[in-house]
Structure 1
Amino acid sequence: MPASYYEPLEGSERPAIINQIRDEIRRGTKRLRKHGLDPTVYADPSRSQLLLIKTGDEWMRQQRNKPAPRRLFGDFWFEHELCIMFADTNLGKSVLAVQIGSSLALHTAVGPFANELTQPARVLYVDFELTAKQFEQRYQHPVAGSRHFGHTFYRAELNPRADNPAFYDDRNAYILSALEGAITRTNAGVLIIDNLTCIRSSTERAADALPLMQQLKALKTTYKLSILALAHTPKRNTAKPITVNDLQGSKMLINFADSAFAIGQSQRDPSKRYLKQIKQRSAQQQYGEQNVCTGHLVKELNNLKYMFDGHSTEDEHLQKRTRALQQQQAQELHRQGHGYRHISRVLGISTGTVSKLLAGHTG
C-alpha cells in the first residue's frame, strides 16, 4: 500500500486509512441498528461468526442428548424441517395441507401417518390461493355447520388494500416481512405456505429461487419452525414416475429443502391419488416408487379431506406408453409453443422421434 495512504488528506489531520475505517464503522453501526442490534453483538461468536467450527467428535457430543426430530406427517415431514409438497393443479394440495395443519392443531394424526408431538401445535396457514368465502364453502355443511380446525390453527390471507406499492420498494421483501410479523403474532411453531410462487413471482432461475429458500431457512432457524411449502408441477409426462425434475422452478428449491413429497394422480382411476417421497433426510425412504401411498378425496359433511386406503407400486398408476399417446402429447406440447428439445426432454424420447411424431409418421 503506498505511503501516501497513511498520510493526511489535504485539509485534513487524519490519514485516508483512518477516514476509511471510521466510514466502515459508521456503516456497520447503522446496519446493526436497522436490525435492532448494537456493536456488543460482536462479543458473542455464536451470533457474529458466520461459520461455526468444531471437530466431528465435538459435534457428536453436542448433539448426543438432543431429541431426534418428531414426525408431523409420518415419514413425509418431520419437526423443524423445511418440506416441499408439490403436485399438478386440482389434485388437492391445499386440502391435504389444511388437513395436516388442522391435525397438528387438534393433536391428531392424518390417517396412518404419525403425529409424534406431545401437545397441540400452533399452526399458521398462509393461504395465497383461496378467498375467505371459498375456504368457508369447502368446510361448511347446511346441517353439520362449520368444521372445527382447532383453537391454535390460524389462517392468513393477503389484504388487497395493504398490497400497495406505496408501502414497499420490493414486494418480495414486503411479503416476507409480513410473514415474519404473522409468525410472531401467532407464536406459530408450524408454518404452511400455499404456495411458494406467491412469495416470489419467479422461481425458475437459481438467482430467484436461492434467496427465497435462504430466507425461509433463516425463518425456520430463527423461530424454530417446521415449514411445509406447497408448489406446482409443470406439464409432465404421465407415463413416467414423478421425480425431482417435476417440481416447477429451479432445482435450488429442492436442493435447499430438507424433505419433499409429491401427489400424483392415477391414470387408471382419475379419482385416485398417491403420495410419493421425493427427498428425505430424517428417515429412510418408505414411500418410493415401489410403495406409494394411495387414497382419494372425500367430503364427509363439513370435512373435505384425504382418505388413505393402502399401498401400491407407482407403475400401476402411470399411463401406458403407446405411439398414439406420444404423438398426442408431442402435438399438445408443440401447440403450447415448446420446441423439439423441450418435448424430447418431457417425453423421454429423441428429437428425431419428436420430429416424426409431429410430422404424423408412425414408422
Structure 2
Amino acid sequence: MKINAEELQRQSLELLAEQQQPENNDDVLLVRRVNHWMEQASLRSIPLMLFGKFWHQGEVCILYADSNLGKSIVAVQIADAISRGTGVYPFDVEAPAQPVLYCDFELTDKQFEARYSVNFTNHYEFSPNFYRAELNPELEIPEGFADFDEYLNYALERAVLQTNARVLIIDNLTYLRSETEQAKDALPLMKQLKALKNKHDLSILVLAHTPKRDLTQAITRNDLQGSKMLMNFCDSAFTIGESNADSSLRYLKQIKQRNTEQVYGESNVCLCQIDKPFNFLQYEFVSFGEEWQQLLRKKGEADESLIADVMALKQKNYSLREIGRALGISHQKADRIIKAHTQQL
C-alpha cells in the first residue's frame, strides 16, 4: 500500500508526540500529571504512628542527644512497643505489631541484660518480633568488599531480609559511617538509608549525638552532630534534652516532621523521668512543659523563683504531682523544696 507524503508526516508527528509523553521518557525525573500522583498516593495507606507524633511509618527518622541522656533507653522502649503493637500516651503506636531489627552497636549483651532484668534474674520477656543485632568481634571482611562500611551495609540488608523486619533501628550513626561532618560524607549515607527504606518498605530510626552545646539555649536542628545534610534528607527528627530545673528529668522535643504538625515544640515538650519499676528500664512520661523552664539559668535566680512558685502552689493545696506537672519538675523535687523551705522558717 502506497502512503503519500501527507500521511507520512502525520505518522511522524504522532510518533514524535508519543515519544514526548513524560511516561515514555523516564530518567532521573519521573514526570506525570499531578492528578496521576494524587491517584497513586490515594492507593497507599496513611502513615501510622510508631512513636506518637515523633515518628511515623515509612520515615527515616533521627533521634539525637548528648551522651548519657538515655537515647538507647528510648530506642529499646520504642522497639519493644512497635514489636507488640501497643504504646503508652503520648508515645502511642498505631501500627500493628511487626518485626523490629535493633542494631545495638553500643551495649554488650551483658549490659543489655542488666537493663532488662532484676540483678540479672527475672528477665523482661520481649516479643518474638523483636530482634537484636550486635557487631561480631571476630569479623573478617570477605573478598569482594572494598571496606568495612560496604560489608556492613550488605549485612544490614541481609539481616532485614532474614528477620522480615519492617522497622530498622540503628544505635548509633557513627557505626554506619565514621565521617558525617561533611556534606560529601553525609549525603551518600542518607541516600543509602533512603534506598534501603524504599527497597524494603522500611521505617528507619537512627540515633546520633550532639556536640557540646550551650545549655542556656533551646535545642535546634543545628545541634545535630555532623553535616546539616543529615537533617535535610531525613523525614523526621526529635531530640532529648536534660532538664536543668530537675536533674532527674529529660524532655523530648520535635525538631522536624512531615506527616504531622509540630505538637511537641519548644512550648510543649514531653517531660519524662527514667524509671525501672521492675525489670524494664524506661522513660516514664511525667507532664508537658515549656523548654525554657528546663534550660540552664543563673542559679540564684532560678532557685528563688522556683521555690516561690512551689510554695505558692502549695498554699493553693496543690498535690506534689500537680505542682510537678505545673512547674515541669518531678514530684520528688517539689517535696524536697517544700521540706527544705519549711525547715528554714
One-letter code aligned to 2:46 = A
- 2-structure distance, mates of 1:197, 1:60: 38
One-letter code aligned to 2:100 = V
CA deviation vs aligned residue, 1:273-316 (integer Å, no higher than 9, x gap): 00000000000100001000000100122110010011010000
Determine helix, strand or coil for the equivalent of 1:212. helix
Match of 2:196 among 219, 222, 234: 219
- 2-structure distance, mates of 1:101, 1:300: 19
User: How many pairs are equivalent?
Assistant: 277
One-letter code aligned to 2:137 = P
Answer yes or no: is 1:287 the counterpart of 2:264.
yes
CA contact (8 A) 1:297 1:307 kept: yes
Q: TM-score, normalized by length of structure 2?
A: 0.77
One-letter code aligned to 1:318 = L
Match of 1:235 among 212, 215, 218: 212
- 2-structure distance, mates of 1:314, 1:127: 30
Determine helix, strand or coil for the equivalent of 1:209. helix
Following superposition of structure 1 onto structure 2, how do residues 36-55 of structure 1 map, counting pairs within 5 Å?
A: 49-55=27-33
Which residues of structure 1 form unaligned runs of 5+?
A: 1-44, 323-363
CA contact (8 A) 1:144 1:301 kept: no
Moved over 3 A (4+): 163-168
CA deviation vs aligned residue, 1:26-64 (integer Å, no higher than 9, x gap): xxxxxxxxxxxxxxxxxxx89x84321112222112212
Equivalent residue for 1:77? 55
Equivalent residue for 2:245? 268
CA contact (8 A) 1:239 1:320 kept: yes
- Compute the displacement of 1:139 (Å): 0.7
CA contact (8 A) 2:264 2:270 kept: yes
Equivalent residue for 2:224? 247
- 1-structure distance, mates of 2:241, 2:222: 14
Equivalent residue for 2:297? 320
Q: 1:147 to 1:163 in 2, by over 3 A?
A: farther
Equivalent residue for 2:146? 169
- 1-structure distance, mates of 2:27, 2:107: 42
Identity, in percent, stands at: 52
CA deviation vs aligned residue, 1:203-249 (integer Å, no higher than 9, x gap): 00111110000000000000000000000000000000000010001
Equivalent residue for 2:234? 257
One-letter code aligned to 1:293 = C
CA deviation vs aligned residue, 1:119-143 (integer Å, no higher than 9, x gap): 3110000001001111111111149
Q: 1:237 to 1:123 in 2, by over 3 A?
A: same
Q: 1:302 to 1:102 in 2, by over 3 A?
A: same
Determine helix, strand or coil for the equivalent of 1:188. coil
CA deviation vs aligned residue, 1:190-213 (integer Å, no higher than 9, x gap): 000000111101100111110000
Match of 2:65 among 56, 67, 87: 87
Equivalent residue for 2:5? none
One-letter code aligned to 1:112 = P
CA contact (8 A) 1:100 1:110 kept: no
CA contact (8 A) 1:73 1:110 kept: no
- 2-structure distance, mates of 1:143, 1:260: 34
Answer yes or no: is 1:136 the counterpart of 2:144.
no
- Compute the displacement of 1:68 (Å): 1.3
Determine helix, strand or coil for the equivalent of 2:274. strand
Equivalent residue for 1:277? 254
Match of 1:148 among 110, 125, 128: 125
Equivalent residue for 2:322? none
Equivalent residue for 2:274? 297
CA contact (8 A) 2:183 2:227 kept: yes
CA contact (8 A) 2:113 2:120 kept: no
Determine helix, strand or coil for the equivalent of 2:276. strand
Q: TM-score, normalized by length of structure 1?
A: 0.73
- 2-structure distance, mates of 1:84, 1:50: 27
- 2-structure distance, mates of 1:169, 1:285: 42
CA contact (8 A) 2:141 2:147 kept: no
Determine helix, strand or coil for the equivalent of 2:253. strand
- Compute the displacement of 1:270 (Å): 1.1
CA deviation vs aligned residue, 1:299-347 (integer Å, no higher than 9, x gap): 122110010011010000001169xxxxxxxxxxxxxxxxxxxxxxxxx
Deviates more, 1:76-85 or 1:159-168: 159-168
Determine helix, strand or coil for the equivalent of 1:62. helix
- 1-structure distance, mates of 2:226, 2:272: 27
